[in-house]
């Protein structure tokens, strides 16, 4: 009987401890309609939209991936660029809905959204959006169509 009580207490404690990180995690201040992680597009502009509590301040920053050749090796870094004619900050109005158009540069773009609500809690969301030219996409599709999938499947099965 004591073993059963001990096991029930142990399992209860285990479940409570496993639920604690969820309680301690940072609050979800912003809910995006579409995630901004690992997106590939041919559209030069994208719309970032979602919901947040009224009076939440959003700061949206954009970075493009730059490559430099240093001592014969390619070194990648992120360089911030300003959106033409746009303020980077948004204060959410009473409806809670927001939408912001972002202009992309060709290649990889890092978008960082920092939200601070009225209580001072912060949340950061970031993601990579890759802008490809239509010619690059056509070439990739053409290469895909030239691939003999039957041969690939046969190699995997062997």
- Residue ranges of the domains in the chain? 27-157
- At residue 136, the pLDDT reads 81
Please, which pLDDT band fits residue 19 given cuts at 50, 70 and 90?
low
Please, which pLDDT band fits residue 143 given cuts at 50, 70 and 90?
confident
Which tokens go with 157?
């099965």
pLDDT per residue as tens digits for the range 106-130: 999 999 999 999 999 999 999 999 9
State which CATH number among 1.10.20.10, 2.40.10.10, 3.30.300.180, 2.60.40.10 fits the domain covering 27-157.
2.60.40.10
Q: Which residues of 131-157 are buried (b: 16+ CB within 10 A; e: fewer)?
A: beeeeeeeeeeeeeeeeeeeeeeeeee
Which tokens go with 112?
């960082």
Q: Is the pLDDT higher at 95 or at 143?
A: 95
Which tokens go with 58?
């959003």
């Amino acid at each position: 009987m004591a073993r059963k009580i001990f096991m029930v207490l142990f399992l209860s404690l285990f479940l409570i401890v496993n639920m604690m990180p969820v309680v301690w995690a940072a609050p979800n201040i912003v809910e995006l309609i579409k995630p901004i992680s690992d997106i590939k597009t041919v559209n030069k502009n994208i719309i970032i939209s979602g919901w947040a509590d009224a009076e939440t301040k959003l700061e949206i920053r954009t970075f493009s991936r730059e490559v430099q050749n240093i001592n014969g090796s390619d070194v990648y870094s992120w360089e911030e660029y300003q959106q033409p004619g746009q303020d980077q900050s948004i204060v959410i109005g009473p409806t809670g809905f927001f939408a912001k158009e972002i202009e992309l540069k060709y290649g990889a773009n890092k978008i960082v959204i920092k939200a601070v609500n009225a209580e001072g809690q912060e949340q950061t969301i970031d993601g990579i959006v890759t802008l490809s030219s239509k010619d690059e996409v056509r070439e990739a599709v053409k290469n895909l169509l030239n691939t003999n999938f039957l041969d690939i499947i046969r190699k995997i099965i062997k």
